[in-house]
Amino acid sequence: MNMDYNRMELMICLASRLLEDNRTVVVGTGAPCAAAMLAQSLYAPNLMIMFEAGGIGPQLPSMPISVGDSRTFYRGLAAGSMPEIMENCQRGMVDYTFLGGAQIDMYGNINSTMIGDDYERPKVRFPGSGGACDLASFCWRIMVITVQDARRFTNKINFITSPGYLTGKGAREAAGLPPGGGPYKVITDLCVLGFDEETKRMQVESIHPGVSREKIVENTDFELLWSPDLVESEPPTENELKILREKVDPYRYIIGRS
């Protein structure tokens, strides 16, 4: 087992193992795209990758730099459009998506809009949803890859841009969202988190090598649940690192950010 890896490589490898064959995934650029490309190379050859700007099932020759990059259409099944991607989500045809933001709470709600108590005069204004709210509402399994700290993993989210489980079990359905969807996994530089079936609260499922429970707790602003089947995260394999470094991201655009 190769221990010479950085935290970004670890997060990408862990995320790639979660993507199943013969499924669909909407990704943005960066770590989510790298995870999907790695999964396609090793675990899910028939994984269909989709991009918000309309690329459907491309044979990615290299890492795209934006969701509208010409590479996201290269030898694809279709050169669609943003409405077409969102319509596929609304029809229930998208299994996975990756989202990110400035804040996330214990129910997987994500804020990418603003920080502060006054919407009109926020302390910080972010770009907003883009297509994230639609993806969070209609894709079946939502995943997040992010660095973990107490400001980001907050007990008091300032704005819900993309819905997670809202206030807990049944809240998504009560708000009119399709039953059965919602946050699935949160992969951080400290651990992998899932969601408790009964409460829909975030729970730690695996702890990365060399990380303590105390470090996870001090980097989280809310009380975490702990899986009864808690394990240590499996580090990247030699083969995963080889493909990630030589094929997926040879110029280290993503994995160079440790």
From the candidates 52, 120, 197, 238, give the one annotated as an active-site residue: 52
Distance of CA 216 to the CA centre of its chain: 19
Separation in Å, CA 239 to CA 20, 62, 187: 18, 18, 20
Separation in Å, CA 209 to CA 64, 192, 206: 31, 12, 9
Q: How far apart are alpha carbons 227 and 220 in whole angstroms?
A: 16
Q: How far apart are alpha carbons 16 and 208 in whole angstroms?
A: 16
- Residue 87 falls in the annotated catalytic set: no
DSSP alpha helices (H): ranges in 119-201? 132-138, 171-174
Quick check: 52 and 85 in contact, CB under 8 A? yes
The strand pair at 78-79 and 55-56 is best described as: antiparallel
Q: How many residues does the chain have?
A: 258
Just list the catalytic residues.
52
